[in-house]
Every structure is written in structure tokens, then in C-alpha cells.
Structure 1
């Protein structure tokens, strides 16, 4: 469950859509390991997410239906990772620090650092 402060912050982050309804954010389950690959079905698309911890931060790769769409995206707190519908993913992802505003690292993935998915795109 997201804290009220985090929900308010995420609400501010997701503002700017042309409609007044707040999009639903889904939590993608993660494990606190420095390298992992997971496959999840989101919005009817099989998405493979690969996360790697490096000395300079946590990085993500995104594949949809066995096609690499994004590679080497730096993961930062409350920063959308995809940012553009033209890339071909059915929505966007962001990491949220549940205890502050630090960028994610592998030691607390799935607990302190949550990977959230927002289906669809707004204009």
C-alpha cells in the first residue's frame, strides 16, 4: 500500500492529462537482487523488463512481444521511464521511493522502491 504522501506526490507527477480522472497505477513485483528479468502481461501485451544495478545507478531495458524497445534507461525516483507512446509500449513506468525521494537501488527493490505501471497514454 502506498503512503498518503507518496500517493499525493504521484498524483502531482501524473497531472497534466487532458481528463480529470487519475490513472490507475499497478505495482510490478520485483525482487531485491542486482540483476533480474521478469515478464509481465500488461494491457494485453507481454512485456519483459530487465533491471541491472551498476555503480552509476539502476538501469532498465524494455521488450514487448520479443522486440527490444528501450535499452539502458536510468531509473530515477518519480521519473517516467518510457515517456512516449510512439516507442510501442502500452503505458509508462516509474519507480517510487516509499520512504523518501532517493533513486532506486537493487537492495530494496519491491519493498522501499516500487516499480509502478500506468496503462495508456495521455496527450
Structure 2
């Protein structure tokens, strides 16, 4: 598993190479939770996905992702929030997961 570095801010957009692909993640804190948009090679493949603790985000191979992403609460069992990103809430990428 690969850790994707995040900052503890309410909105961020990061570009990371994952399994040889260009991936952009737009992460936004809303009143109802933390949400993510995923871009693969400059094409949005998922929009407005609710991020939950230890729950795969992509889940389906037909999106074309070479793996999957999940948040893990390192200090309990809460769903991620922007204030703990990069410390308490860590985003992991696993190649081949759900592909």
C-alpha cells in the first residue's frame, strides 16, 4: 500500500502518479462529510464520492483505475474529516485492488 500525502485543509486538489497513471484527487469537506472527485489521465471518472473509514472508494474495475483508495482512521473508527487529514486520517492506495 502507498500513502498519499494530504494536508489538513477543507479543500485540496492533488496530482499523484499511481501505477504509472496520472491521477488527480479533489477532496472537499462539506457539512455532510468528506467527498472526493477522481480524475484519471485528465478524465473525471468519479464525482462526489463520500469518503468513509476503511471503505474502498473506487470499487469497480470499469472505472479504469489500476487500483483503489481508502481512508484509515489511525486513532479510532471515525469517518475522515479535513481537520485530521495527513495525520489521523491517512489515505492509502493499493495497486490491483478491485481491478
TM-score (norm 2): 0.97
Unpaired segments of 5 or more residues in structure 2? none
Which residue of structure 2 lines up, in the alignment, with residue 112 of structure 1?
88
Count of paired positions: 99
> Which residue, out of 19, 41, 63, partners 1:87?
63
Q: Which structure has the higher relative contact order (CA within 8 Å, separation 6+)?
A: 2
CA distance in 1, matches of 2:42, 2:98: 25
Unpaired segments of 5 or more residues in structure 1? 1-24
TM-score (norm 1): 0.78
CA distance in 1, matches of 2:96, 2:12: 25
Looking at CA atoms only, which structure, 1 or 2, has the larger radius of gyration? Answer: 1
Which residue of structure 1 lines up, in the alignment, with residue 4 of structure 2?
28
Q: In the alignment, is the contact (CA less than 8 A) between 2:67 and 2:98 conserved in 1?
A: no
RMSD (Å), alpha carbons: 1.0
Relative to its length, the structure with more helix (as a share) is 1
